[in-house]
Structure 1
Amino acid sequence: MIKQLINNIEDFQEWCRTLGDVIALDFETTSLNYLEMEFVGFSLCDGDRAMYTQNPDILFYLALYFSDHLFIFHNAVFDLKCCRKFCEYEPDSFFCTLVGAKLVDENLSSHSLKYLAGYWLGVSADLIKEYDEVSADTNSKEFIDYAMNDAIWTHLLYRHETLILNKEKLLYIAGIEMDFQRVLVEMEINGVLIDEDKLEAFRSECGIILHNIEHDMLMVFGKHHDVQKDLFGNEFCISPIKFGSTTQLISLVHLLGFVVDEKTPKGNLSIGKTYLQKMKGQHKFFDLLWRYRKLQKLMNGFITPLDGFMDQDGRIRPSYNMVRTGRLSCSKPNLQQLPNPKKEKLEFNHREIFIPKPGNVLIKADYGGQELRVLSEVTNDTTMVAAFQNDRDLHLTTANHIFDLGLGADALTDGTVEHGEATRQNKQKRHQAKNGVNFPIVYGATVGRIAKDNKVSKKEAERWLNGFFELYPGVKKSIDNIPKELRRFACVRTLFGRKRRFPQYKKAGRYDKAAMERQAFNMKIQGTSADIGKIAGILLLKALPVEAKIVLFVHDEWVVECPKEMSKEVEKIMKDCMENAVALRVRMVVDTKIVNNFGE
């Protein structure tokens, strides 16, 4: 491979005269933060040659090739942000080898460029260096070689991945993913504004509530806080019991006369989420500990560290990452794992800190019952498909069959007077059908899990499950076919072709096979739902007026910020794009709301 350092515009133009159609591009910057990053250099590779430049004036000439060449990136979201900031344009066509690698083999321990260079390309380990392992002098030969190697390996990965994507019929889903990278770029550039006053108020309020819960837990055991003073005479409280210590908690539970029967994978006793769910209501202490943990997780994982994630413009810009099912994880901060204030009955709604700038509003658009609608499509269950097509309440329909409620068609149809009355009279049974069968099926819950979560006997849970499968035989057939699929193909696919591989299935033991089968079925639902959400995001980006900005994507919910006067127009666009993202027998239903903060 011919390598050149080029800092002269004429030399760059000459180098580009014989430029190939496919070009790997990699930027070097002073920071990963979009607002703070400054240009250091960029490297190109066309498959035969590689070059590196530190001259920012050459960026203008680089952008001239954005319209008629295919550009290859490893982590397109970062490099597209660099193109946007330094060149003011993005390439019309691109391919991301980071995304490609996750589609080719989602089970790899890493999808980083350096790992793949060694694992797939066979590059010698002594040639592979991380950023912090090379000279800090960006003018050094070592640094320049490092930069060009990134472009060279990215180009080679493109060749490797596209062959496999084509062979495994993954080009369609790859196209969706590439288009979706532009949506991620938009969100990471826009960010979402934080109400700093409300954040500080929540921080104070959460601290007080945690202190009070801790006080109530201490009182259960006849203890209280120790009041101490720091060097400046300020008083602070210390708990004589460490409620974060599993060892101490187990002793406390034993003191109350209860048994701890939950264990970690290593066989140690544990007081985790499952145990506390089971023990809620059996003693005041368990209810207090449940609330304490929820609030402590919110405080330590989100409220306290949020200042560190805020940029100078008062916005946070989370990073998004694709996981094995195709869904997104989120970091810096993690918005996907925040507790639902309503479901968890929290004392305050932490989502209220996400706000629009003055004169703007937020518009939330969320898929209603998406996973169950996808379930009906994936399993081709005619009863479930018909229920959705006829606007039936699926949870009440399931409850009607399992509990023999004797409800007629009008009572099962959303929006009717009879439905409203039937829902009120059968609230508990509908809740049991929803959370005891319908949703657990999607997540592959066992009879034992359904019994434990709903506090019923295994016999009763089995009766529910059998009743569900009796009503929806297509779902049962689809679940029963999973082992056959895994034996034959060692993978399953979403409706859009995304693969989830289980290479160890044939050699696995009975319990591991059962776990893989549940994961495989769940993947078909979760993965397809993720694909639909991404397609909707792609359509949104193209359809929204320039004044409207996509700021968040949390689970199945899109959030857009726009001027208040155009909110009705944007709301309609969001609903249309999301409901018509794909053409299935069961239409997607989207609930929208114009709000002044994300918590409304």
Structure 2
Amino acid sequence: MADVNDCDFARVTEILQKLEFNSLIGRLPRTMQAAENEKKEEPKLDIPRIEKLPDTPMFEAENVIYIDSSEPDVIYISSNPESAWTAKIDEISQSMWQLLAQGIVIAADVKQLYHALDNHGVAVRFHEVWDVEQAAFLIDPLKRDRSLNALSGDFSDDNSAPYQLARLHKIYREQKVYMSNNSQIARVAYEFDFPVIWALFQMEKRGMKLDDTLLKQMGDELAAEVGELEQQMYSMAGYEFNASSPAQLSEVLFTKLQLPTAGIKKGKTGYSTGQKELDKLRGQHPIIELIERYRELTKLISTYIEALPKLMATDGRIHTTFNQDVTSTGRLSSTNPNLQNIPVRTELGRKIRQAFVPSDGKVFVGADYSQFELRLAAVLAGDEKLIEDFNSDVDIHAKTAAETYGISIDEVGKSQRRAAKVINFGVLYGMSPHGLAAATGMSFTEAKKFIDHYFEVRKPIRQYLDKILTQAREQGFVETYFGRRRPTPDVKSSNFMVRSSAERAAMNMPIQGTEADLMKLAMIRLEDKLSGLADAILQVHDSILVECRPEDVQKVSEIMKAEMEGVCPELPIKLKVDVGTGANWGEV
């Protein structure tokens, strides 16, 4: 295996740029990038002298804080690049923490800092924070390496506290200059990404209670169904085989059962059995539906049924990690476990959600934005007619169907409304006639005709999407309503697949990113408004989930609805929030 350190980073970068694979440059192995940077002259760092924290320190308005993972009990506080104080976390008084909290606290990862302090029983909320890694993400969402070494340009081997403090000071100074010259990015940092860190920390700390007994029972039921599916497939094939093996499954489908191979992708090991290929075979043999069900069940069993109990903490709760710097739209993601990927609209997804229950003596309250993305699309596109319809509580999908088919709303049938609903949302993601046909059962010709009529009715939406692509090509970025940006280098790629993917991402970003910004703002507001009344524990897609006492449900519901619907008065469109309650997540 080749050693990446022996590669010419500059040459690799040049080739990738020539092929227009710009987004891959930031994904090159960190060691390769480091090796290249080490060839350059190291930037000069001001290494602070370290002294013991005095009994009555005079903190400045800006203070860098660093905790080394190798010394989790020790904290370093630096008010200027020349000097720093150090102390055991347990030795710092609460009054001193409160004094420090009055200024700006700068750290590589503020949420992680909150957790580190919480592990020592320190309850402090900083008045204002500057998260260096999150700021770096805002400045360049495509940059993968956001280590202090990479951000400071210093790749020396010394990662001791003095050097890390020096890097933090250097990065902070540079980021401040950038923000002062880019007011829109600064607004996103100050109003959304930095303030929401406290809410995310609180949700991670609280976690969600897991009923592992119910989950085990569910697992036994699903395992039994998997066994039945296997027996049915064996019977159809005439012999036993491993349904999880693509090669064996390909052998069964195309050799034993002689299913048609026209249009089926073929690889080195035989014909593909991926989902797209199975879609082409639907209706050709009953085994196809069994395979799809088998895959759905086995994926849920391995991803959630078996994995969730292993991730349960000693308090009986699941403490997921919320990330702000993973999706380039600004949307939150969650890891260990990924609670956002539990299927939303399937019965199995609902069953898994039933295993998440509130704390003893409490219930769940969930608030969900209705037609959030479509409302924001109307705003971004300046579609006055669509905005007026939303503000008048018109059934948007029925009206879209009526206008597209040229009939009255009263004449719209279920299938027509469904087609309108699919395209209303799908068009925001560049849905093609093929996509609409697959989603609705229309023929390709019918789907193409429907989309053509749709854009005649929704001309501002078409013009908006075209404008976004033009901006992506000419300016090299797209942005949200509030100014969050995403670079779009690959929209100029000569590779059709790369370019098409980049164009879809460019069209998605302003809407999804604006949605993410507003959701963060709602979380910030609710964390304060619900203090002492309810605890927010999860944010998924367009919804926020809290737990509270049964007697507080009505008040909590009213607060959530009011705060979320009124989250941004400057928007010309009315936001609508649906609120529900339940004894488990699946019921909400």
What interval of TM-score do these two structures reach, taking the shorter chain for normalisation?
Answer: 0.7 to 0.9
For the 8 Å contact 1:363–1:595, the answer to whether it is kept is yes
Alpha-carbon displacement from aligned partner over 1:6-62 (angstroms, at most 9, x marks no partner): 45xxx5347x44x442111123468xxxxxxx9521122232223433362135464
1:334 corresponds to which residue? 338
Query: Do residues 12 (structure 1) and 12 (structure 2) align?
Result: no
Q: SS in structure 1 opposite 2:513?
A: helix
Shift of 1:458: 2.9
For the 8 Å contact 1:532–1:581, the answer to whether it is kept is yes
| Cα distance in 2 between the residues matched to 1:159 and 1:347 | 47
2:103 corresponds to which residue? 69
2:580 corresponds to which residue? 593
1:88 corresponds to which residue? 123
Q: 1:25 aligns with which of 47, 60, 65?
A: 65
Shift of 1:85: 4.6
Q: 1:202 aligns with which of 218, 221, 225?
A: 218
Q: SS in structure 2 opposite 1:456?
A: coil
Shift of 1:595: 0.8
| Cα distance in 1 between the residues matched to 2:272 and 2:93 | 57
Shift of 1:84: 4.1
| Cα distance in 2 between the residues matched to 1:279 and 1:428 | 24
Moved more, 394-403 or 328-337: 394-403
Query: Do residues 50 (structure 1) and 84 (structure 2) align?
Result: yes
For the 8 Å contact 2:311–2:318, the answer to whether it is kept is yes
Query: Do residues 187 (structure 1) and 203 (structure 2) align?
Result: yes
1:379 corresponds to which residue? 381
1:407 corresponds to which residue? 408
Shift of 1:77: 1.0
Shift of 1:278: 4.2
2:315 corresponds to which residue? 313
| Cα distance in 1 between the residues matched to 2:268 and 2:487 | 26
Residues 393, 79 of structure 1: alpha-carbon distance in 2 compared, 3 angstrom cutoff: same
| Paired-residue identity, % | 27
| Cα distance in 1 between the residues matched to 2:93 and 2:310 | 32
Residues 512, 467 of structure 1: alpha-carbon distance in 2 compared, 3 angstrom cutoff: same
Aligned amino acid, residue 332 of structure 1 = N
Q: 1:173 aligns with which of 188, 199, 205?
A: 188
| Cα distance in 2 between the residues matched to 1:80 and 1:591 | 32
Alpha-carbon displacement from aligned partner over 1:74-130 (angstroms, at most 9, x marks no partner): 11111123334532212211111111111011001232x24xx23x322134335xx
Q: How many residues align?
A: 533
Aligned amino acid, residue 330 of structure 1 = S
Residues 297, 123 of structure 1: alpha-carbon distance in 2 compared, 3 angstrom cutoff: same
Structure 2, unmatched stretches of 5+, are 1-45
TM-score scaled by length of structure 1: 0.83
Residues 260, 347 of structure 1: alpha-carbon distance in 2 compared, 3 angstrom cutoff: farther
TM-score scaled by length of structure 2: 0.85
Q: SS in structure 1 opposite 2:195?
A: helix
| Cα distance in 2 between the residues matched to 1:312 and 1:260 | 54
Structure 1, unmatched stretches of 5+, are 31-37, 129-145, 224-239, 412-421
Q: 1:391 aligns with which of 385, 393, 397?
A: 393
Q: SS in structure 2 opposite 1:127?
A: coil
| Cα distance in 1 between the residues matched to 2:574 and 2:492 | 37
| Cα distance in 2 between the residues matched to 1:177 and 1:75 | 12
- Residues 23-172 of structure 1: pairs in structure 2 closer than 5 A: 23-28=63-68, 39-46=72-79, 47-54=81-88, 56-58=90-92, 60=94, 62-86=96-120, 87-111=122-146, 113-114=147-148, 117-118=149-150, 120-128=151-159, 146-168=160-182, 169-172=184-187
| Cα distance in 1 between the residues matched to 2:414 and 2:89 | 68
For the 8 Å contact 1:260–1:270, the answer to whether it is kept is no
1:253 corresponds to which residue? 253
| Cα distance in 1 between the residues matched to 2:85 and 2:561 | 46
1:243 corresponds to which residue? 243
Residues 397, 511 of structure 1: alpha-carbon distance in 2 compared, 3 angstrom cutoff: same
Query: Do residues 365 (structure 1) and 400 (structure 2) align?
Result: no
| Cα distance in 1 between the residues matched to 2:538 and 2:470 | 39
Moved more, 470-479 or 191-200: 191-200
2:9 corresponds to which residue? none
Shift of 1:478: 0.7
Aligned amino acid, residue 472 of structure 2 = L
Q: SS in structure 1 opposite 2:253?
A: helix
Moved more, 468-477 or 510-519: 510-519
For the 8 Å contact 2:222–2:297, the answer to whether it is kept is yes
Shift of 1:2: 4.8
Aligned amino acid, residue 488 of structure 1 = E
Taking only aligned residues, the RMSD between alpha carbons, in angstroms, comes to 2.5
| Cα distance in 2 between the residues matched to 1:329 and 1:510 | 29
Residues 489, 347 of structure 1: alpha-carbon distance in 2 compared, 3 angstrom cutoff: closer
Aligned amino acid, residue 415 of structure 2 = Q
Q: SS in structure 2 opposite 1:170?
A: helix
Query: Do residues 213 (structure 1) and 229 (structure 2) align?
Result: yes
Query: Do residues 570 (structure 1) and 556 (structure 2) align?
Result: yes
1:525 corresponds to which residue? 511
